[in-house]
Structure 1
Amino acid sequence: MEAAKGAVFNRRRTGIPPHNIKNMKEIGNILEGGEQYMFQTILTIKTGSRLEVVEITDQINELVKNHNIERGMVLLSMLHSTAALTTVAFKPGKDLEILESLEPDIPADYGHLRGYFHLPHHLMSALLQQSLVLPIKDNQLLLGPTQKLGLVEFNGPRPRQIAVMIFDHEWLKEPVLTLKQINYE
């Protein structure tokens, strides 16, 4: 796992609109404030074969622990269209059976009129999820007893990037903003 530089955002609870970034003190990639906390980064995971599930639960839990988030949520977004994210029960040998059952009845060498040869990989990725939102409790992901977080590779091996945003529970109390409410000055 390689983590790109992350950004940390803390927001004051002083009556200043939390979406007005110019009221924050910027130090490198960190915006300092008060009680509210949000962290974002890009994780790079190198896959090892054409079709595989890479468990990334520990990497995400490490980020949560490093930023001391007791309660909140994590948003994960796959930055590729031939890979996906999911929560599964990992069992050796069963993962590939599940993935192979997802392969559509389109020949691997199917050529679209425009010479587009990755259609099966895009279809399989679309059957799963490009983004996940997971709760955080007690400084770790809140998952079921057998659930693990997985990056599903359909067109590897290659480096895959996942955008990660971690929010504490204080951040989540703010109302949802509309574009008209955001001050870009």
Structure 2
Amino acid sequence: MLKNFKLETDRSGLFDITPLVEDALASSAVNDGLLLVSVPHSTAAVTVVSPWDVLGLEDVHDEICRLVPTRIDFKHQYDTPQDAAGHVKAAIVGHSKSFFIDGGKLGLGHSQKIYLWEFDGPRSRNIQIKVMKS
């Protein structure tokens, strides 16, 4: 079962998509299997972070921006320097994550949430969630 969701981002940064993922799992009625979350975009990624300290979310975003700053000396400049930096950040973080399903529950730790990581916002984004029974 593949579910598609739209998300309008209002900025670059982290957006909690855990409720979308949990809803897709609940509607699938799969008790054991795998769940894949993917974003079909070259300037967005999927990651897992603890949300309990909001400043931690800012730290995570600030550090990827420090590691790959927006700059004008990228060799590829199709759109903007932010777009070029977004391609590199998304390639490092990854466009998808997979999770096991056990007893109808998603394989996340108690302090983990799933995030769409927007590197070139604001944008209209698609989120694809595939639930597979084992």
Mapping for residues 68-87 of structure 1, pairs under 5 Å: 68-87=29-48
User: What is the RMSD computed on CA atoms of the aligned residues?
Assistant: 1.9
Out of 111, 115, 118, the residue aligned to residue 150 of structure 1 is 115
SS in 1 for 2:36: strand
TM-score normalized with structure 2 length: 0.86
Structure 1 distance, partners of 2:66, 2:92, is 10
Aligned to 1:179: none
Report the equivalent of 1:61.
22
Larger radius of gyration: 1
Q: Supply the distance in 2 between the matched residues of 1:168 and 1:107 (Cα, whole angstroms).
A: 41
* Letter of the structure 2 residue corresponding to residue 131 of structure 1: S
Q: Provide Cα deviations, 1:93-125, integer angstroms capped at 9, x if missing partner.
A: 221221111125666351556643321111111
Separation in structure 2 between the aligned mates of residue 156 and residue 55 of structure 1, nearest angstrom: 15
Alignment deviations for residues 129-158 of structure 1 (CA, whole Å, 9 cap, x no partner): 111111112323111121111111111111
Aligned residues between the structures: 130
Flag the 1:87–1:40 CA change in 2: closer, same or farther, 3 A.
same
> 1:162, 1:107 → 2: CA distance?
25
Q: How far apart, in 2, do the equivalents of 1:154 and 1:128 lie?
A: 11
CA distance in 2, matches of 1:131, 1:107: 22
Asked if 1:94 is matched to 2:63, the reply is no
* Structure 2, gaps ≥5 residues long: none
Does the CA contact (< 8 Å) of 2:34 and 2:101 recur in 1?
A: yes
Structure with greater helix share of residues? 2
Where structure 1 has 5 or more consecutive residues not aligned to the other structure, the ranges are 1-38, 170-185
Kept in 2, the 8 Å contact 1:86–1:149? The answer is: yes
- Note if contact 2:14-2:118 (Cα within 8 Å) is conserved in structure 1: yes
Which of 131, 136, 151 is the equivalent residue of 2:96? Answer: 131
Q: 8 Å contact 1:104–1:124 — kept in the other structure?
A: no
Change (3 A) 1:114 1:65: closer
**Ranges of 4+ aligned residues in structure 1 off by more than 6 Å:** none
